[in-house]
């Protein structure tokens, strides 16, 4: 039995859990559903309480009326019977038998019930002259309880009654009461108990009809109230739904979306204020777009105009460098510094142009199958001669090709490795590559000075330097990490950083295998294995959410 109950409970849970889960999600996300549910529950409780009160009041009134009528009817029959007995002086058997017949007829004529039972009171001396008991229905003697029999003998009340169940047929019963009284016969005959049963079947039928009527009325009221609440919620929530729809359209770039009036003062005021806010926001966006366009054009024009004098200065510096024998040593050193600064200035102009393209959303990438392990090895081979640190490449995976723009990924890796060289303090640098079914990852770990929490939060800001007093080993422009972050985002990937002061830093680049992944599991941990003490291949890595970006790919329509 217990096993069957557990099986039933498990089946019920499996069936109800999806339904309850759906309801819980709808409950959390829908104000209209909460309003209708709460209103329905309160209405049901009110209707149930009102129906129960009405039914209880009607039942009590009907039962009380029926009881009073039964008691009066029994008292009337008892009085008539006793008067008939008192009017005779019968003592012999025949006279008493005739008297009993007369009493029986009188009770039948005066009582509204045909269920009558008369018996000689138990506990009296036997008398051969006493008339026999009689009954009009077998249901009455069966309904007389021992408690009622004992009370009618010992109690002083003229009437006793009790609620009973009366048999009306084979296997059928109806509620009712039995009223008991006492009749005193003359001579040595003694007392007789008179029991009259009154059926409450009609009362029960009436109460059942009233209960059915109340239930039907409650169901109809629930339906009408539910329809009313649903209609009112539609009317009330319609402006709110419209505001949500218009705000969603504005967020999607439909700047001409506006709210309509609802012929209500408060909602119309809300619509006017919302539309005014949308107009103001649209105007500010246009101003910002104009300023952004002007800024981008200014940067582009300045960069273009600066290229001509820079080219001239570079040519002059090269001429000075080629005439080392005719130029004094001080001027030779100045010419070399000039050449280095011109090169750095050109790189700065290129970075500014690249940043302006990202700001304008006009970046176009050309993807091709690329082996990230080979790419990282080539970058490390180029940067190793410029570094005092030993740079190690650890390819744990990632040998299969991935469709990326190799120029931009190379620039990301170069910036990350160059940053590690700048802050590695000559300690080893480890470049790790790995992949899984959803993503590729490249991690650059250094054991240098590290960064605190504030510096780590701003490390990707443009022209930000964690320590301005440090000399740039590779002559960076201050835009490398900002451009690297944009290069990763344009591929749908992300660059993350873990760093601790005097422990080092770990930059992790994660790229999805395809554009179909909205989130992906990074194959490499962000916190290095030498810090956590766990093998990277056994570390539970974290999920990475794909950034939302506008990008241009070769063959795409420009929107992603």
* 313-346 residue pLDDT tens: 777 777 766 765 666 767 667 777 777 777 777 7
Comparing 33 with 201, which gets the higher pLDDT?
201
- The predicted pLDDT at position 559 comes to 35
pLDDT in tens, 83-134: 888 887 777 777 878 888 888 888 888 888 888 888 888 877 766 667 778 8
- Tokens standing for 38? 């709460």
Residues 345 and 369 in one domain: no
**CATH number, position 348:** 1.10.287.130
Structural domain includes residue 559: no
Q: Which of 228, 251, 274 is the last residue of a domain?
A: 251
The domain in which residue 381 lies consists of 363-553
Residues 275 and 394 in one domain: no
Query: Residue 368 has what DSSP assignment?
Result: E
pLDDT in tens, 344-400: 777 777 777 777 776 666 677 888 999 999 999 999 998 888 888 899 999 998 889
**CATH number, position 230:** 3.30.450.20
182 pLDDT above the threshold of 90: no
Residues 193 and 288 in one domain: no
What distance lies between CA 245 and its chain's CA centroid?
21
Residues 465 and 321 in one domain: no
Residues 405 and 489 in one domain: yes
CB atoms within 10 A of CB 532: 11
Strand partners for 506: 445, 498
Report the alpha-carbon distance of residue 91 to residue 85 in Å, rounded: 11
**Structural domains of the chain, count:** 3
Could you tell me if 434 and 536 are in contact, meaning their C-beta atoms sit under 8 angstroms apart? yes
Residues 164 and 57 in one domain: yes
Residues 342 and 387 in one domain: no
Structural domain includes residue 11: no
468 pLDDT above the threshold of 70: no
Could you tell me if 425 and 488 are in contact, meaning their C-beta atoms sit under 8 angstroms apart? no
- The predicted pLDDT at position 375 comes to 93
Buried b (16+ CB within 10 A) or exposed e, 30-68: eebeebbeebeeebeeebeeebeeebeebbeebbeebbe
- The predicted pLDDT at position 540 comes to 46
Q: Is 413 exposed, middle or buried (0-12, 13-18, 19+ CB in 10 A)?
A: buried
- Per DSSP, the three-state class of 540 is coil
């Amino acid at each position: 039995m217990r096993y069957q109950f557990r099986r039933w409970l498990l089946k019920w849970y499996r069936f109800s859990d999806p339904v309850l889960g759906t309801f819980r999600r709808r409950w959390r996300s829908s104000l209209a559903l909460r309003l209708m549910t709460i209103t329905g529950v309160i209405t049901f409780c009110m209707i149930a309480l009102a129906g129960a009160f009405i039914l209880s009041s009607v039942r009590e009134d009907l039962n009380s009326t029926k009881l009073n009528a039964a008691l009066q009817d029994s008292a009337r029959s008892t009085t008539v019977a006793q008067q008939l007995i008192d009017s005779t002086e019968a003592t012999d058997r025949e006279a008493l038998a005739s008297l009993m017949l007369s009493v029986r007829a009188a009770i039948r004529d005066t009582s509204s019930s045909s269920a009558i039972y008369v018996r000689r009171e138990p506990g009296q001396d036997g008398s051969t002259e006493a008339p026999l008991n009689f009954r009009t229905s077998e249901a009455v003697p069966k309904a007389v309880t021992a408690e009622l029999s004992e009370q009618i003998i010992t109690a002083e009340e003229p009437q006793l009654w009790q609620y009973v169940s009366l048999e009306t047929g084979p296997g059928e019963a109806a509620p009712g009461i039995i009223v008991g009284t006492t009749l005193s016969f003359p001579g040595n005959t003694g007392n007789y108990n008179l029991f009259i049963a009154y059926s409450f079947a009609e009362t029960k039928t009436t109460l059942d009809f009233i209960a059915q009527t109340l239930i039907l009325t409650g169901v109809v009221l629930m339906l009408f109230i539910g329809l009313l609440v649903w209609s009112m919620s539609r009317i009330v929530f319609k402006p709110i739904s419209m505001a949500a729809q218009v705000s969603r359209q504005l967020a999607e770039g439909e700047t001409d979306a506006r709210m309509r009036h609802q012929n209500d003062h408060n909602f119309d005021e809300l619509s006017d204020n919302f539309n005014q806010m949308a107009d103001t926001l649209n105007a500010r966006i246009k101003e910002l777009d104009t300023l952004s366009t002007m800024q981008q054009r200014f940067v582009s024009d300045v960069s273009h105009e600066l290229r001509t004098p820079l080219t001239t200065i570079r040519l002059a510096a090269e001429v000075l460098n080629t005439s080392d024998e005719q130029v004094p040593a001080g001027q030779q050193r100045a010419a070399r510094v000039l050449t280095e600064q011109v090169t750095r200035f050109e790189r700065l102009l290129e970075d500014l142009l690249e940043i302006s393209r990202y700001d304008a959303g006009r970046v176009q990438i050309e993807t091709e199958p690329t082996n990230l392990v080979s790419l990282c090895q080539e970058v490390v081979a180029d940067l190793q001669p410029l570094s005092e640190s030993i740079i190690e490449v650890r390819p744990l995976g990632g040998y299969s090709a991935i469709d990326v723009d190799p120029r931009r990924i190379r620039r990301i890796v170069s910036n990350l490795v160059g940053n590690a060289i700048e802050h590695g303090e000559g300690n080893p640098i480890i470049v790790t590559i790995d992949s899984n079914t959803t993503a590729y990852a490249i991690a650059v770990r250094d054991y240098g000075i590290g960064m605190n929490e504030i510096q780590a939060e701003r490390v990707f800001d443009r022209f930000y330097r964690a320590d301005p007093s440090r000399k740039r080993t590779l002559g960076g422009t201050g835009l490398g990490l900002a451009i690297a972050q944009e290069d990763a985002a344009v591929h749908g990937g992300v660059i993350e950083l873990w760093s601790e002061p005097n422990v080092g830093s770990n930059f992790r680049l994660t790229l999805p295998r395809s554009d179909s992944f909205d989130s992906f599991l990074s194959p490499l941990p962000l916190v290095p294995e030498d810090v956590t003490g766990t093998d990277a291949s056994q570390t539970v890595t974290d999920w990475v959410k794909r950034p939302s970006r506008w990008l241009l790919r070769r063959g795409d329509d420009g929107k992603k």
